[in-house]
């Protein structure tokens, strides 16, 4: 073979050079916005955390975001997941950050990379690997050499990985912004003093030294050094001003809902309010806004933080936990995004003028190259206002923003929703012939109750010492479970012999189980966000040797606060036996304690599909309400493409695996408070995370997502470790899909109605165009209505997966009354 000629080589080199140069994007900024290749660009971004879904879901989520008018995807980088052991890295499966960013790129969207590496995010330990604790003299997030060394190491690793794959915009990639740290400004002042200030400067210097060719941001960091852009996080950021007039107004976290704790209600933020917040932000000069979250997803395995963050991280986001469109949230925001994008040039380049009408009513006008855009904002919580704007009257409902893209036509008001509401239903997994819901058959095994053997030792114990140790210092978070075991000899003459006395344990949580002489004594767990508690239960000690085994259990490690490393966990003491009647106490805190990490079944890999311990499962006498039991069953994959969940109602608390993969901790027996869920969800005031809560008195989380990629075509194995006691009798595998579709749309709009998963409309339960009343499920006819609404919708929607209804008298017929605004109400069944 001949060697390539010099000319060919030069040509190749030129192509390479030209190719990479031509695809590079220049990212800069000024006080009005981020500039992409010199052009100010409006960024509407959505957070999707790659480990909270599966690689197979990513494309669909990103496509749905794109279709929803989103032009950038934001994610954190999860240090503890990528570096589970110091200097051993993992980017496999749903940790494949490069694949995630490339999926964003292939869809033509921008990416925002929040490297942190502290991320908060309701993620275990805020994203810090727990092995950091073992580094001498380390203090997190301050001017501490040991910490800075580790932070530099990991951030450098990530930046180099992105550079190597040409993922920064400066290299032709999609990443237009990078973040260092996370909301450090919220903690540092009170806690770290000057060291905190030095650390902020160090973070900035570190970030800039990476020379990535895109701007860096710090969120909630008033003293972010130039040229780092300080950004805002919150439910509203219209009043935010960056710390430098050359920095654009950016909103890195617009909380689309809120997270949920075990034992708490389910939070909801109305789309009306969310759209209002977005409208206000862009009315007042915003240039970049990111929904936290656009898709929340699932905390698989032990990734949830807290303590006590649920396995679902649905967040009430525009895409629900499973990736379904959450309607009307997705659609109503989409309509707003499309309008904002269509006028972005005028917003980012135009001359801005604010008009104050008093009573929290304002107008903002942008003029540029003969074009005019206006926002009419009513932040009054109780009154609608009609104002005269440029010789026309506009009625702006309370707590809403109207957008006039040409300073004349009202095309959008944040309080008037013109997209469908989808009511999701769960359908049971059917047996092969499609007739009956598939009935699960169970086998079970006991979990070993660890105790001290005759020789005074414990199999696989890690430490024996005369004091009570912090839970995390022993487990290093390699398991949720830590056994604290001690032995005491009771003489027949001992005042505690053969008598019912109290076992007293002071613990910092999160859960405690006690066994005496291998007999279960009781369980207690932290409630109401207070993790420190006292366990007191009656016990009876026999003459001779008595063994006490206490199991301390964590339920996610703290992710927020200025001292997460110093938060005590587990049994710090005292541990005592108390005879309250006789007023005598025996303190066991300085006894010899033997520690063992984890549960035996995990060591035996009972959670895996094929192990040598398969044969010890029993089919008979299925136990109910017994703590420390393993259950196993098999089930066929549900047909179709709709997302799959398992309903675990009936169980206590534990962890579930499907085909060997953890779908997370479960705790369906934990219920939300009975009160605090409003009858009607409608507020016109600043959202705080509590208005519109649902699920009062019900199981905090009964459904657990099984991503379809975890499933096998033939048979699937579901394994449960039940820690509290419950019954698996009624468990069912189900699919989640759109059941009913409702709409309440205003005239002169096009209403799109859609089912999901290939299903079609089978019935139109209600249709009226005029002045109908009520809400989805209880619509009522008004005083007038157009004659053809029902038949038009029947003709155009029945038998179809989706249909478009032009909401106007032309198609639906003349309405027989005079209203300023006609509405269409529809209820259809998929």
Give min distance, CB of 253 to ligand GAL, in A. Answer: 6
- DSSP 8-state secondary structure symbol assigned to residue 708: G
Give min distance, CB of 293 to ligand GAL, in A. Answer: 8
Q: How far apart are CA 510 and CA 507, in angstroms?
A: 8
Q: In this chain, which stretch among 119-127, 164-172, 241-249, 733-741 interacts with ligand GAL, using CB under 6 A?
A: 119-127
> How far apart, in Å, are the Cα atoms of 44 and each of 115, 274, 341?
20, 14, 9
Q: Which is nearer to ligand GAL, 262 or 533 (CB)?
A: 262
Among 101, 120, 469, 753, binds ligand GAL (CB under 6 A): 120
CB of 535 closer than 8 Å to CB of 482: no
Q: Which is nearer to ligand GAL, 122 or 655 (CB)?
A: 122
Give min distance, CB of 673 to ligand GAL, in A. Answer: 21
**47 near ligand GAL, judged by CB under 6 A:** no
Give min distance, CB of 206 to ligand GAL, in A. Answer: 19
* Cα dihedral: 177, 182, 186, 190 (round 10): -130
Q: Which is nearer to ligand GAL, 555 or 742 (CB)?
A: 555
Q: Which is nearer to ligand GAL, 74 or 642 (CB)?
A: 74
Give min distance, CB of 326 to ligand GAL, in A. Answer: 17
Q: Can you tell me which residue has the tokens 């997941």?
A: 81
Q: Can you tell me which residue has the tokens 């971004």?
A: 45
Among 74, 80, 83, 122, binds ligand GAL (CB under 6 A): 122
**48 near ligand GAL, judged by CB under 6 A:** no
| DSSP per position, 557-586 | -B-SSS-GGG---SEEEEEEEEETTTTEEE
Q: In this chain, which stretch among 113-121, 173-181, 279-287, 606-614 interacts with ligand GAL, using CB under 6 A?
A: 113-121
Q: Can you tell me which residue has the tokens 């994008």?
A: 341
**312 near ligand GAL, judged by CB under 6 A:** no
**273 near ligand GAL, judged by CB under 6 A:** no
For the beta carbon of residue 176, count every other beta carbon within 10 angstroms.
24
The H or E element that residue 809 is part of is helix 809-812
Q: Which residue is nearest to ligand GAL (CB)?
A: 120
CA angle 23, 72, 371 (to 5 degrees): 90
**233 near ligand GAL, judged by CB under 6 A:** yes
**314 near ligand GAL, judged by CB under 6 A:** no
Q: Tell whether the torsion through CA atoms of 89, 92, 95 and 96 is positive or negative.
A: positive
Cβ-Cβ contacts under 8 Å for 226 (sequence gap 6 or more) = 244, 246
**Chain residues 251-270 in contact with ligand GAL, contact rule CB under 6 A:** 253, 259
Q: How far apart are CA 594 and CA 700, in angstroms?
A: 35
By DSSP bridging, strand 250-255 and strand 288-295 are parallel
* Cα dihedral: 324, 327, 330, 332 (round 10): 170
User: Terminus-to-terminus CA distance in the chain, angstroms?
Assistant: 65
Q: Which is nearer to ligand GAL, 121 or 319 (CB)?
A: 121
Cβ-Cβ contacts under 8 Å for 119 (sequence gap 6 or more) = 76, 77, 78, 79, 126, 127, 182
Q: How far apart are CA 731 and CA 711, in angstroms?
A: 17
- DSSP 8-state secondary structure symbol assigned to residue 465: E
Q: Which is nearer to ligand GAL, 253 or 273 (CB)?
A: 253
Give min distance, CB of 233 to ligand GAL, in A. Answer: 5
Mask of contacts with ligand GAL, 786-815, x by CB under 6 A? Answer: ------------------------------
Give min distance, CB of 688 to ligand GAL, in A. Answer: 13
Q: Report, in this order, helix, strand and coil percent for the chain, each rounded to 5.
A: 20, 35, 45
Q: Which is nearer to ligand GAL, 187 or 755 (CB)?
A: 187
Tokens of 659: 């085909």
Give min distance, CB of 554 to ligand GAL, in A. Answer: 19
Report how many residues bind ligand GAL under the rule CB under 6 A.
9
Among 121, 719, 786, 828, binds ligand GAL (CB under 6 A): 121
Q: How far apart are CA 126 and CA 565, in angstroms?
A: 11
Residue 709 designated active-site: no
Active-site position among 253, 450, 655, 785: 253
Q: Tell whether the torsion through CA atoms of 163, 166, 172 and 175 is positive or negative.
A: negative
User: Edge to edge, what strands does the sheet with 593-597 contain?
Assistant: 463-465, 593-597, 481-490, 544-553, 511-516, 519-525
Give min distance, CB of 310 to ligand GAL, in A. Answer: 13
Mask of contacts with ligand GAL, 147-186, x by CB under 6 A? Answer: -----------------------------------xx---
- DSSP 8-state secondary structure symbol assigned to residue 429: P
User: What is the chain's length?
Assistant: 830
CB of 370 closer than 8 Å to CB of 363: no
Q: In this chain, which stretch among 118-126, 422-430, 760-768, 810-818 interacts with ligand GAL, using CB under 6 A?
A: 118-126
**417 near ligand GAL, judged by CB under 6 A:** no
Residue 183 designated active-site: yes
Q: In this chain, which stretch among 117-125, 457-465, 497-505, 647-655 interacts with ligand GAL, using CB under 6 A?
A: 117-125
Active-site position among 183, 321, 450, 827: 183
Q: In this chain, which stretch among 120-128, 170-178, 595-603, 779-787 interacts with ligand GAL, using CB under 6 A?
A: 120-128
**547 near ligand GAL, judged by CB under 6 A:** no
**232 near ligand GAL, judged by CB under 6 A:** no
**Chain residues 587-646 in contact with ligand GAL, contact rule CB under 6 A:** none
Q: In this chain, which stretch among 115-123, 634-642, 726-734, 803-811 interacts with ligand GAL, using CB under 6 A?
A: 115-123
Q: How far apart are CA 824 and CA 767, in angstroms?
A: 7
Give min distance, CB of 154 to ligand GAL, in A. Answer: 17
Q: How far apart are CA 643 and CA 370, in angstroms?
A: 49
Q: How far apart are CA 220 and CA 121, in angstroms?
A: 15
Tokens of 162: 């992105």
Binding site for ligand GAL (CB under 6 A): 119-122, 182-183, 233, 253, 259
Residues with a known catalytic role: 183, 253
């Amino acid at each position: 073979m001949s060697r390539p000629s010099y000319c060919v080589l030069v040509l190749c080199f030129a192509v390479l050079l030209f190719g990479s140069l031509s695809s590079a994007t220049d990212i800069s900024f000024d006080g009005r916005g981020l500039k992409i290749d010199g052009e100010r660009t409006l960024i509407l971004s959505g957070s999707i955390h790659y480990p909270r879904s599966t690689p197979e879901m990513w494309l669909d989520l990103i496509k749905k975001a794109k279709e929803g008018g989103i032009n950038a995807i934001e994610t954190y980088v999860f240090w503890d997941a990528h570096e589970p052991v110091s200097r051993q890295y993992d980017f496999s499966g749903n940790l494949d950050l490069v694949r995630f960013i490339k999926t964003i790129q292939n869809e033509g969207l921008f990416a925002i990379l929040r490297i942190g590496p502290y991320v908060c995010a309701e993620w275990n330990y805020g994203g810090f690997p727990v092995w950091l604790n073992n580094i001498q003299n380390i203090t997190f997030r301050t001017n501490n050499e040991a910490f800075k060394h580790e932070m530099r190491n990991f951030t450098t690793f990530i930046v180099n990985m992105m550079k190597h794959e040409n993922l920064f915009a400066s290299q032709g990639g999609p990443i237009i912004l990078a973040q260092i740290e996370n909301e450090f400004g919220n903690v540092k002042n009170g806690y770290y003093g000057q060291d905190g200030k030095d650390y902020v400067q160090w973070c900035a210097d570190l970030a800039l030294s990476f020379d990535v060719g895109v701007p860096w941001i710090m969120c909630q960091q008033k003293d972010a050094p130039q040229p780092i852009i300080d950004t805002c996080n919150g439910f509203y950021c219209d009043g935010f001003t960056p710390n430098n007039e050359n920095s654009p107004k950016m909103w890195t976290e617009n909380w689309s809902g809120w997270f949920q704790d075990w034992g708490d209600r389910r939070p909801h933020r109305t789309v009306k309010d969310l759209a209002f917040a977005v409208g206000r932000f862009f009315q007042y000069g915003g240039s970049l806004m990111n929904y936290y979250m656009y898709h929340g997803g699932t905390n698989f395995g032990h990734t949830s933080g807290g303590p006590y963050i649920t396995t679902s991280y649905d967040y009430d986001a525009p895409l629900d936990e499973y990736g379904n469109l959450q309607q009307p949230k997705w659609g109503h925001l989409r309509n707003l995004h499309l309008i904002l994008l269509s006028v972005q040039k005028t917003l980012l380049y135009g001359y801005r003028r604010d008009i104050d009408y008093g009573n929290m009513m304002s107008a903002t006008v942008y003029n540029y190259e003969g074009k005019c855009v206006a926002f009419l904002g009513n932040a009054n919580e109780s009154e609608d206002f009609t104002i005269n704007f440029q010789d026309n009257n506009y009625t702006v409902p309370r707590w809403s923003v109207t957008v006039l893209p040409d300073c004349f036509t009202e095309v959008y008001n944040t309080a008037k929703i013109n997209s469908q509401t989808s009511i999701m239903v769960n359908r049971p997994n059917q047996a092969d012939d499609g007739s009956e819901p598939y009935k699960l058959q169970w086998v079970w095994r006991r979990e070993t109750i660890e105790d001290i053997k005759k020789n005074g030792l414990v199999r696989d114990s890690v430490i024996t010492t005369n004091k009570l140790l912090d839970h995390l210092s022993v487990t290093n978070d390699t398991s949720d479970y830590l056994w604290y075991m001690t032995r005491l000899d009771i003489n027949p003459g001992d005042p505690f012999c053969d008598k019912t006395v109290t076992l007293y344990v002071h613990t910092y949580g999160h859960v405690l189980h006690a066994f005496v002489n291998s007999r279960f004594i009781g369980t207690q767990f932290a409630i109401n966000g207070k993790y420190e508690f006292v366990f007191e239960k009656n016990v009876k000690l026999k003459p001779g040797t008595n063994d006490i085994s206490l199991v301390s259990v964590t339920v996610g490690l703290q992710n927020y606060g200025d001292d997460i490393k110093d938060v005590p966990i587990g049994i710090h003491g005292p541990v005592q036996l108390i005879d309250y009647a006789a007023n005598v106490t025996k303190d066991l805190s300085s006894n010899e304690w033997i520690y063992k990490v984890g549960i035996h079944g995990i060591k035996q890999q009972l959670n895996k599909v094929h192990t040598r311990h398969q044969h010890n499962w029993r089919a008979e006498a299925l136990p109910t309400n017994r703590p420390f039991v393993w259950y196993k069953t098999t089930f066929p994959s549900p047909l179709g493409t709709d997302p799959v969940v398992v309903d675990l109602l009936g169980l206590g608390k534990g962890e579930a695996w499907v085909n060997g993969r953890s779908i997370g901790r479960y705790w369906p027996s934990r219920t939300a408070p009975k009160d605090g869920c409003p009858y009607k969800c409608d507020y016109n005031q600043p959202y705080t995370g509590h208005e519109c809560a649902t699920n009062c008195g019900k199981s905090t989380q009964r459904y657990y997502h099984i991503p379809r990629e975890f499933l096998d075509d033939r048979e699937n194995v579901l394994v449960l470790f039940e820690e509290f006691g419950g019954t698996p009798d009624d468990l069912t595998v189900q699919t989640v899909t759109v059941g009913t579709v409702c709409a309440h749309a205003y005239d002169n709009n096009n209403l799109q109605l859609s089912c999901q998963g290939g299903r079609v409309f089978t019935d139109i339960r209600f249709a009226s165009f005029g002045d109908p009343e009520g809400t989805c499920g209880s619509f009522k006819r008004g005083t007038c209505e157009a004659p053809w609404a029902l038949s038009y919708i029947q003709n155009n929607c029945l038998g179809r997966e989706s249909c478009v209804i032009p909401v106007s008298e032309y198609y639906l017929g003349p309405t027989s009354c005079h209203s300023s605004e006609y509405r269409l109400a529809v209820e259809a069944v998929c």
